[in-house]
Amino acid sequence: MKITINIDCTPIEARTFFGLPDVTALNDAMVSQMQMRLEKGLDPQEVDQAVRAWMSGASAGLGEWQKAFWAAMKGAVGPTDPTQGAE
């Protein structure tokens, strides 16, 4: 059996639904700071190093979030083995 669920929502609605924080202000501040540094003549290599430093844990954090999401979904659906939970 294959089940497909399509959810039509904005990124803001998705963040709110999953209880994630709104990081719009933080993102705006980071972009503003990068623009300011670039306007002052920041070396492109320094930009690359700064972005790598700021985003070093982003991919690991995303992986952990995905694991937690799938664990929550499996828990909501219940056991996939029909013999589990039978009394």
CA 22 to chain CA centroid, nearest Å = 11
pLDDT of res. 42: 65
pLDDT of res. 6: 92
CA-to-CA separations, 8 to 12, 63, 65, 70, 71, in angstroms, rounded: 12, 23, 21, 19, 22
pLDDT of res. 58: 63
The answer to pTM > 0.75 is no
Half-sphere exposure (Cβ direction) of 40: Cα atoms closer than 13 Å: 9
Rounded to whole angstroms, how far apart are CA atoms 81 and 87? 13
pLDDT of res. 9: 93
Rounded to whole angstroms, how far apart are CA atoms 37 and 31? 10
87 residues of the chain, pLDDT tens digit each: 999 999 899 988 988 888 998 888 988 998 898 888 777 776 667 767 777 777 766 666 677 777 888 888 777 766 655 565 554
Domain extents in the chain: 8-55
